[in-house]
Amino acid sequence: MGERVKAGQQIATVGNRGQSTGPHLHFEIEDSDGEIVDPVKWLAKRGASIVGLD
């Protein structure tokens, strides 16, 4: 938490561990006040996108 990442940097892998129904990735962004924001909108506002959304 609180780490800065660069474009193209791998930040996670997709997996199926614990009590899950299938492979997934939990991706969350918090603003400077610690509030959770929509990562798709946050990335789009900065000219980035998430590949594989359907």
Condensed to tens digits (0 to 9), the pLDDT of residues 4-15 reads 888 888 888 887
Using the predicted structure, report yes or no on whether residue 31 has a pLDDT greater than 80. Answer: yes
Residues 51, 25, 9, CA angle at the centre, nearest 5°? 55
> Any residues with CB less than 8 A from the CB of 33 and at least 6 apart, and which?
none
pTM: 0.55
Percent of the chain predicted with pLDDT > 90: 13
Distance CA 47, CA 20 (A): 32
Higher pLDDT, 46 or 52: 46
Backbone angles phi, psi at 29, to 5 degrees: -125, 135
Mean pLDDT over residues 19-29, rounded? 82
